[in-house]
A and B are shown apart, each in its own frame.
Chain A
């Protein structure tokens, strides 16, 4: 294999593996904020127990996020040096801002979140939790800004030519608020909230099935399911906004997502199907006019197909179609699952529907897979460009790195990441099997509640 293919595989592997963890940190961060707010408000120790339990899970995902995240920052330089020279003026500043505004905040206050239970007052601890959550969200902001520049570059001009050509900032805010950054950030965050909420839901449903820690599980579900429902519903709206913006700024990408080979009016939407690349068509279940309607809110509108794009500028259709439809399909299912879950929760019938609890247990895989597919769709859909319309992917490679070097690092990364993933699953499973600690129902030290001994607390 050549150095281009190997570098792309390595980047896909390392970013894909990394991206298992940050959405969980963002989503669980939000859950922790809600749980601790409940604990502060009600003083019900079960919320303290919940906060402790989920903090431990959070610590695990966070450590892996940090360990695999630093790889990403280095990899722009190691494998994509020419790209780094080209966009450094812009991309670099977003990364640096991410470090200063997000990573320090996250990592700094994490110390208090994890180890400060007995050292600071509950209010200060809550503040630290909020800061960790905020830091996680900020990191999503800056990395999405940086990535959005690669999708819809704005606020720049190109200076010099040939090897020395590079993009320089002309307007910082225009660059930050590129046409796609707002929508894509929103979409990313909703995906992250879903992964956090569904993790909580899944573990709690498992406890209900096993009839363990039932009070704990019910309260987790009371928080997890509504958040999952809201995030899934908002994700639908955000996905719609995102797709319409893609149609406007990256028509080739939308055509690939939908497998639309020919520009047509009254374009149909394929619900499920597959791309027949030889005959340039999509086989499957179609709804007439729907694509035109969704894209332009007009069933007769003309949607640009791949035929309008020069062949050398087209992304790989079959892959994009699969990733995009996979993501949307899972999103719809998750919306359905969380809606039914909320209905049962309200009717207090969750514990009776064991089959549904099993669905909830496995629902955690949904956002994980959809998040991966979504990013694959976004990045593969941008091909053959590394910076849309400005630089082609092969042009971004490091000039001095050879294929066998990348092969060596790729083999090592694969081996180590599989090992880490196995240990992560093992420890997560152990944590879940052990369950919340009964001692955490009796907060001590600075958290001890004076009137708890009377057995009364506000529900």
Chain B
């Protein structure tokens, strides 16, 4: 592993998608939990907990996609055209999620709110599932032909392993969302979200354990990587410690650190995924020689350099004001006149 431009961009794209998972992950998780509470006020509180930040969070996906397009156009083109229907469905899910948040509380009618609540929840769950299924396919490897084009079918994307990863991702986002929600609310709703969080932790741990076993059994190229580099187990260990820390922080009434532990869970999972994947972007099964990697799918060195300058200028500014905005909206959410 050498730190050339291509590797740097592999890491940066990974960081963007990890940022997306950590931030929009809780929005989607809140969405997935939305229907579990019946009271309009509670639903509004949950909605407003993510209200000011969700669309900034979605930008991480847009920028991640843009960075993938710019740094690895062949990968972007192959994956997006190959997973056509999956991405179209993801778009619809994200559209419904977005407009449901905006539209829901604009009218008081019961049927109106119920309709957009269902749109919000369904859009969130479907987004989480599809993101997981896409990740699962990338991890498992997909058929690629000699021209670097996807050679499978839409139904071929829905094999057990990717579906399992889809469910695991949904569980992870639900856990993350519940913890974020608990951090942002108080009283009865806070306790309820904590219970959701504890349940979804159990759900997630079961899913994650199953996924790990399935990976070692059914994804030979990843299993080989772990066998060759036993130190990778330390990341897995860190991941488990991060999960175990969540109930501990809850017991100490430190919701913020519970949330940070949940973020660390995601970061370690993505790190593990990235290391196992490197240097491949899309691993080709059954013809590994057709795989897209960070060299044959990349843009020119000149573009990677220009992009690095752009990222070097832009990202610190983005992080600075994003942190400020989260600071402005810190603390428990209250319903006010400008709330959703």
Using a CB–CB cutoff of 8 Å, the interface residues on chain A facing chain B are 59-60, 62-64, 66-71, 73-74, 76-79, 81-82, 84-85, 87-93, 95-101, 103-105, 107-112, 114-120, 131, 159, 163, 166, 168-170, 172, 398-401, 405, 408-409, 412, 416, 420, 423, 427, 430, 439
Assess whether B328 is in contact with A119, with CB atoms less than 8 Å apart: yes
Assess whether A70 is in contact with B329, with CB atoms less than 8 Å apart: no
Smallest CB separation, B293 vs chain A (Å): 15
Assess whether A88 is in contact with B69, with CB atoms less than 8 Å apart: yes
Which residues of the partner chain A approach B303 to less than 8 Å between Cβ atoms? 89-90, 92-93, 168-169
Given A82-B77, A85-B73, answer yes or no on A99-B107 (Cβ-Cβ < 8 Å).
no
User: A81 is contacted by which of B81, B307, B311 (Cβ under 8 Å)?
Assistant: B81
User: B55 is contacted by which of A89, A98, A110, A405 (Cβ under 8 Å)?
Assistant: A110
Given A59-B102, A98-B66, A168-B303, answer yes or no on A67-B95 (Cβ-Cβ < 8 Å).
yes
**B99 CB-CB contact with A under 8 Å:** yes
Assess whether B102 is in contact with A78, with CB atoms less than 8 Å apart: no
A109 to B329, CA, bound (A): 12
A401 to B150, CA, bound (A): 10
Identify the closest chain A residue to B65 (Cβ).
A73
Which residues of the partner chain A approach B300 to less than 8 Å between Cβ atoms? 89, 159, 168-169
Identify the closest chain A residue to B333 (Cβ).
A115
Instruction: From A59, A82, A87, A119, name the one whose CB has the most chain B CB atoms within 10 angstroms.
Output: A119
Smallest CB separation, A277 vs chain B (Å): 35
A70 to B336, CA, bound (A): 30
Which residues of the partner chain A approach B94 to less than 8 Å between Cβ atoms? 67, 70
Which residues of the partner chain A approach B66 to less than 8 Å between Cβ atoms? 73, 92, 95-96, 98-99
Which residues of the partner chain B approach A109 to less than 8 Å between Cβ atoms? 321, 325
A416 to B74, CA, bound (A): 30
Instruction: From A66, A166, A409, name the one whose CB has the most chain B CB atoms within 10 angstroms.
Output: A66
Given A85-B74, A168-B303, answer yes or no on A74-B99 (Cβ-Cβ < 8 Å).
no
Of B56-64, B155-163, B225-233, B246-254, the one touching chain A: B56-64
Of B85-93, B193-201, B235-243, B255-263, the one touching chain A: B85-93
Given A84-B76, A89-B300, A100-B311, answer yes or no on A401-B84 (Cβ-Cβ < 8 Å).
yes
A73 to B227, CA, bound (A): 39
Given A77-B80, A104-B59, answer yes or no on A84-B329 (Cβ-Cβ < 8 Å).
no
**B103 CB-CB contact with A under 8 Å:** yes
Smallest CB separation, B6 vs chain A (Å): 13
**B174 CB-CB contact with A under 8 Å:** no
Assess whether B69 is in contact with A92, with CB atoms less than 8 Å apart: yes
Assess whether B63 is in contact with A81, with CB atoms less than 8 Å apart: no
Identify the closest chain B residue to A88 (Cβ).
B73
A93 to B92, CA, bound (A): 26
Assess whether A416 is in contact with B92, with CB atoms less than 8 Å apart: yes
Which residues of the partner chain B approach A87 to less than 8 Å between Cβ atoms? 73
Which residues of the partner chain B approach A95 to less than 8 Å between Cβ atoms? 66, 69-70
Interface size, B (range): 35 or more
Which residues of the partner chain A approach B84 to less than 8 Å between Cβ atoms? 78-79, 398, 400-401, 405, 409
Using a CB–CB cutoff of 8 Å, the interface residues on chain B facing chain A are 51-53, 55-56, 58-59, 61-63, 65-67, 69-71, 73-74, 76-82, 84-85, 87-88, 90-92, 94-95, 98-99, 101-103, 106-107, 147, 149-151, 154, 299-300, 302-303, 306-307, 310-311, 314-315, 318, 321-322, 325, 328-329, 336-339
A62 to B311, CA, bound (A): 25
Which residues of the partner chain A approach B88 to less than 8 Å between Cβ atoms? 74, 78, 409, 412
Which residues of the partner chain B approach A59 to less than 8 Å between Cβ atoms? 102
Smallest CB separation, B284 vs chain A (Å): 14
Which residues of the partner chain A approach B56 to less than 8 Å between Cβ atoms? 104, 107-108, 110-111
A409 to B106, CA, bound (A): 29
Identify the closest chain B residue to A110 (Cβ).
B55
Which residues of the partner chain B approach A405 to less than 8 Å between Cβ atoms? 84-85, 154
A95 to B336, CA, bound (A): 36
Instruction: From B53, B62, B63, B337, name the one whose CB has the most chain A CB atoms within 10 angstroms.
Output: B62
Assess whether B98 is in contact with A66, with CB atoms less than 8 Å apart: yes
Given A59-B102, A77-B79, A84-B76, answer yes or no on A70-B55 (Cβ-Cβ < 8 Å).
no
Identify the closest chain B residue to A170 (Cβ).
B302
Assess whether A120 is in contact with B328, with CB atoms less than 8 Å apart: yes
Assess whether A107 is in contact with B91, with CB atoms less than 8 Å apart: no
Given A68-B95, A78-B87, A439-B337, answer yes or no on A104-B73 (Cβ-Cβ < 8 Å).
no
Which residues of the partner chain B approach A92 to less than 8 Å between Cβ atoms? 66, 69-71, 73, 76, 299, 303
Assess whether A74 is in contact with B65, with CB atoms less than 8 Å apart: yes
Smallest CB separation, A24 vs chain B (Å): 14
Which residues of the partner chain A approach B101 to less than 8 Å between Cβ atoms? 63
Assess whether B69 is in contact with A77, with CB atoms less than 8 Å apart: yes
User: A73 is contacted by which of B62, B71, B92 (Cβ under 8 Å)?
Assistant: B62
Assess whether A400 is in contact with B63, with CB atoms less than 8 Å apart: no
Smallest CB separation, A430 vs chain B (Å): 7
